[in-house]
Structure 1
Amino acid sequence: METNLIVKPFAELTNSALLALLFARNQVFIVEQGIQENEIDSHDLVAYHVMRFDEKDQIVAYARVYQQPQGVTFGRVLTMKGFRKHGLGRQIVKDAITTAVQKFSQQPLTISAQAYLKNFYQSLGFVPVSSEYLEVGIKHLKMQYAPTNIGEA
């Protein structure tokens, strides 16, 4: 599937890109996954928003990358329903990794991954660095990027 990659800090987002990413996050995390937490937070203001759009300029995949006191992280990773099973999840995570490395080089990259995606993230070079814990009612674990451990991508 052919998509266009756009990576922008919050201040450079167009109104339509901001609306698209907020709609996508609301649809996936609140409507589909039933998460009862605020979807919008202060990390949006300092994040690089990594978005893939289809040929109709519809957002099909998204992640946000930002710095935190312990290093860099990314989250809010999603692929829109109807566009799943085309490799876009893997692609948007690779895009997020690339963005983290380009914008925040030499800082550790650690994510809070949904536990059921452990093998997926391991195949992209992440290793678990915690036991499972609950976050917004979903099992998660901390994983750190260690590119020397990349499996078959």
Structure 2
Amino acid sequence: MEITFKIKRFNELSSAELYSVLQLRSEVFVVEQNCVYQDIDDKDAKALHVLGYCQNELSAYSRLFDAGNYFDEASIGRVIVRQKFRKFNFGHDLMRVSIAAIEENFNQTAITISAQEYLKIFYESHGFVQTSESYLEDDIPHIEMKKK
């Protein structure tokens, strides 16, 4: 299986692309993780959106922020791989593309994320280190992680 990525600013997203993004975020973060929270948070307009497609289906997604728009450093959030595509390790492709997009679009190398704690080893494999104790975000244990 192969994944291809598009990187777009909010105003460049078509209505169909935006619908697919919001549908995937709801599918994973609300339904799959059984977590009721406000996903549509007024931050999408400031973000750079990374959309990964496999077999013409949105299979992976993240949103990127320049320094100062979410954390003091640039950041990556809403990191998702659709469940049926996880066996192909698209999450690693998504992170490599997201990190490169931050460097290319924001000229930043320092990145902060709020990671779900169970994904600590995954993010460490991309150069992130834990910088906080565990905390609850939407009733899910998270940790802050940074990449220099």
Within a 5 Å distance, the mapping from 1:14-25 to structure 2 comes to: 14-25=14-25
Separation (CA, whole Å) in 2 of partners of 1:100 and 1:122: 18
1:105 Cα deviation from its structure 2 partner = 1.6
- 1:122 alignment partner in structure 2: 124
Where structure 1 has 5 or more consecutive residues not aligned to the other structure, the ranges are 147-153
Q: What's the Cα RMSD here?
A: 1.2
1:106 Cα deviation from its structure 2 partner = 3.4
Q: The residue matched to 2:143 in structure 1 has which SS?
A: strand
Residues 93-137 of structure 1, C-alpha deviations (whole Å, 9 max, x = no match): 111111111112236210001111111111110011111111111
Within a 5 Å distance, the mapping from 1:127-142 to structure 2 comes to: 127-142=129-144
Separation (CA, whole Å) in 1 of partners of 2:147 and 2:92: 15
- 2:90 alignment partner in structure 1: 88
- 1:5 alignment partner in structure 2: 5
If the length of structure 1 is used for normalisation, what is the TM-score? Answer: 0.90
How many residues end up aligned between the 2 structures? Answer: 145
Asked if the contact 1:43/1:66 (under 8 Å) is kept, the reply is: no
If the length of structure 2 is used for normalisation, what is the TM-score? Answer: 0.93
- 2:59 alignment partner in structure 1: 60
* Percent pairwise identity: 37
Q: The residue matched to 1:2 in structure 2 has which SS?
A: coil
